[in-house]
Amino acid sequence: MQLSAMYLWLKALHLAFMVTWFAGLFYLPRLFIYHAQADLLPDRQRFTIMERRLFIIMTIGAALTALFGGLMLNINSSLLQQGWFRVKLLILIAMLVYHYRCWRWIRVLGQAPVAASTRWLRWFNEIPTIFLLAVICLAVVKPF
């Protein structure tokens, strides 16, 4: 297989698993809101199970996104010299922090019901949209 064909396969897999990761990043915080609003113990327990399972799936998506991205970077290391790609890597770090914060919310919500307002969770729920728009615009437009 030619190197360019291999690169395209890696890019396709990178994008496919990025979609998996983002599906989790979009839906998991919405589950947090429902979980925080649940009054009954069986409902809270069900949300905890759903959150944990989704977190596993999105973590696999994140790991495979990083793996295929790393393999592409190994083939085309000149990307590291481009400003848009460096910003994309910074966004990736922010996404990993967000991913970790999701794990922390699973633990917090699994231990006790949250009596506070879900306002913060509703804002938290919107952050992946910013990540997605930024990553796509940088990768497609390559503004600098």
- Segments making up each domain of the chain, as ranges: 3-141
pLDDT confidence of 2, banded at 50, 70, 90? confident
139 pLDDT more than 70 = yes
pLDDT confidence of 53, banded at 50, 70, 90? very high
> Does the predicted TM-score (pTM) go above 0.85?
yes
DSSP states of 24-58: HHHHHHHHHHHHHH--SHHHHHHHHHHHHHHHHHH
- What average pLDDT does range 50-79 have in this prediction? 97
CA–CA gap between residue 115 and residue 98 (Å, rounded) = 23
- What average pLDDT does range 49-75 have in this prediction? 97
Q: Which segment of 39-53, 80-94, 104-118 scores lowest on mean pLDDT?
A: 104-118
94 pLDDT more than 80 = yes
pLDDT confidence of 116, banded at 50, 70, 90? low
- As given in the structure block, the two tokens for residue 111 are 């231990």
* 3-state SS, residue 117: coil
3-state SS track over 55-103: HHHHHHHHHHHHHHHHHHHHHCHHHHHCHHHHHHHHHHHHHHHHHHHHH
Which of 126, 39, 143 has the alpha carbon at shortest distance from 87? 143
CA–CA gap between residue 122 and residue 22 (Å, rounded) = 17
130 pLDDT more than 70 = yes
115 pLDDT more than 80 = no
Q: What is the pLDDT of residue 114?
A: 66
Q: What is the pLDDT of residue 32?
A: 95
